């Protein structure tokens, strides 16, 4: 890597290929308060070295399977209560119909999202699952995933904390699994904090799920939610927690760095959005702490900053759907894939479609899922351009 002149000894250490410690990261963060340029520049060079000038995304269909949830987070509008007009409990025929539409639009990812174990809180969910022949949301997720895979979509399940046995069942049909750590600080679960009424967001529970996914060799997407009351040091600690899981299990394929958006009608409706400088500095620190990691920000939540985030060290835009809304953030429509591509090109990047599994994680995927992906993959294990025509 060509050496640049940086004022910071620590950033020069990164250029010499040395790992930075947690204390180093704190110091770099503090220095970036005064001069963010060197941090972003270092992150860019590390991204270029490890990922080149390629930005990826996953063309997806969002299956809003069951949006009831046993937990309550202070910022969430995804979860609804029984009787709400936005309730979603997708039956088998609805799933089949959406799979068909997804195929027509050349999507490759079937994103299956549910709240946390709805059946533990709501009789309506238990009864509905039972009427369909299932005793848990996880069982229904396995059915939905197997159906999507059979039809040529590649499932990525995001259903909160799953047990090891549930994940082992999903591994047979899923290309990857997602679980946001959000933050590793137990402080955010204390009284008056956003996870006070969400035991599933207890960092120990989340870390255990990520470790279990690792012990099952499942490519795993996780990430941080920025701006929910954490300190910058807690965000840095969270990145080191994810790094530690990955060093032990080698399963973390991607880190999403997501900015909190206040929503009307939630207890956090009056909370400010995170400062963009802080957000970008965390993105760059993620690259410095894990230079080879895939780092994503969702483009619908920061639609005016394509070049700014590419210049902070990201290499991916996550799942983008040409047909379904982002049910977690429905107020923020996804940009068109053409818009993302145009902005990437203007910033000097090529945009390519990937599978829910990143190319380097293909060997971890179940044989059946992998062979189906390889049927429409190119030599770099990205979605072949022929398939998308």
Cβ proximity of 284 and 40 under 8 Å: yes
Residue 160 vs 313, nearer CB to ligand SF4: 160
CB of 320 to ligand SF4, least distance (A): 21
Q: Rounded to the nearest 5°, which phi and psi values hold at 378?
A: -95, -170
CB of 212 to ligand SF4, least distance (A): 18
Q: Which residue pairs, CB below 8 angstroms and at least 24 apart, start in 100-105? A: 100/151, 101/61, 101/323, 102/60, 102/61, 102/153, 102/323, 103/151, 103/152, 103/153, 105/59, 105/61, 105/322, 105/323
Cβ proximity of 169 and 125 under 8 Å: no
154, two tokens? 């590649």
- Which residues are within 8 A (CB) of 229 and not within 5 positions of it... i.e. 6 or more apart? 188, 193, 194, 271
Cβ proximity of 150 and 173 under 8 Å: no
222: exposed, middle or buried (Cβ count in 10 Å: 0-12, 13-18, 19+): buried
Cβ proximity of 196 and 172 under 8 Å: no
Task: Select from 319, 302, 271 the least CA-distant residue to 107.
Answer: 319
Residue 298 vs 313, nearer CB to ligand SF4: 298
Identify the bridge partners of residue 223 per DSSP, sorted by sequence position. 256
191, two tokens? 């009284």
Strand runs labelled E in the chain: 54-66, 109-114, 154-158, 176-178, 220-226, 252-259, 294-296, 316-320, 350-354
Report how far apart, in Å, the C-alpha atoms of 49 and of each of 17, 225, 245, 325, 382 are. Answer: 11, 27, 23, 34, 19
The C-alpha atoms of residue 232 and residue 242 are separated, in whole angstroms, by 16
Residues that bind ligand SF4 (CB under 6 A): 69, 71-73, 76, 78-79, 115-116, 160, 198, 200
Residue 20 vs 73, nearer CB to ligand SF4: 73
3-class secondary-structure state, position 58:
strand
Residue 71 vs 237, nearer CB to ligand SF4: 71
Residue 173 vs 200, nearer CB to ligand SF4: 200
Residue 188 vs 383, nearer CB to ligand SF4: 188
């Amino acid at each position: 890597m060509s050496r640049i002149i940086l004022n910071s000894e620590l950033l020069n250490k990164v250029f010499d290929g040395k790992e930075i410690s947690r204390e180093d990261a704190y110091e770099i963060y503090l220095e970036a308060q005064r001069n963010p340029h060197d941090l972003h520049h270092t992150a860019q060079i590390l991204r270029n070295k490890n990922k080149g000038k390629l930005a990826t995304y996953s063309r997806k269909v969002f299956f809003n399977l069951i949006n009831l949830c046993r937990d309550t987070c202070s910022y969430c509008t995804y979860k609804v209560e029984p009787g709400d007009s936005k309730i979603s409990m997708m039956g088998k025929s609805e799933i089949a119909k959406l799979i068909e539409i997804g195929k027509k639009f050349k999507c490759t990812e079937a994103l299956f999202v549910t709240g946390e174990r709805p059946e533990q809180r709501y009789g309506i969910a238990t009864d509905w699952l039972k009427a369909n022949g299932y005793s848990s949301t996880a069982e229904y997720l396995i059915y939905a995933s197997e159906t999507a895979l059979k039809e040529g979509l590649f499932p990525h399940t995001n259903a909160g904390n799953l047990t090891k046995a549930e994940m082992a069942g999903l591994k047979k049909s899923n290309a990857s699994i997602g679980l946001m750590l959000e933050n590793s600080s137990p402080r955010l679960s204390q009284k008056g904090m956003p996870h006070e009424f969400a035991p599933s967001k207890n960092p120990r529970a989340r870390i255990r799920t990520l470790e279990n996914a690792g012990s099952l060799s499942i490519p795993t997407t996780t990430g941080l939610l920025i701006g929910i009351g954490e300190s910058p040091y807690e965000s840095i600690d969270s990145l080191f927690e994810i790094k530690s899981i990955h060093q032990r299990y080698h399963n973390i394929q991607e880190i999403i760095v997501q900015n909190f958006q206040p929503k009307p009608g939630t207890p956090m409706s009056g909370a400010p959005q995170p400062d963009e400088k802080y957000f970008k500095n965390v993105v760059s620190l993620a690259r410095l702490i894990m230079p080879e990691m895939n780092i994503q920000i969702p483009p619908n939540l920061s639609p005016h900053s394509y070049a700014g985030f590419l210049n902070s060290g990201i290499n991916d835009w996550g799942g983008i759907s040409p047909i379904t809304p982002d049910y977690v953030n429905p107020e923020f429509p996804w940009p068109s894939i053409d818009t993302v591509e145009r902005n990437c090109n203007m910033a000097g990047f090529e945009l390519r479609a990937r599978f829910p599994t990143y190319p380097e994680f293909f060997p971890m995927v179940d044989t059946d899922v992998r062979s189906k992906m390889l049927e429409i993959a190119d030599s770099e294990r990205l979605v072949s351009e022929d398939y998308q025509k």
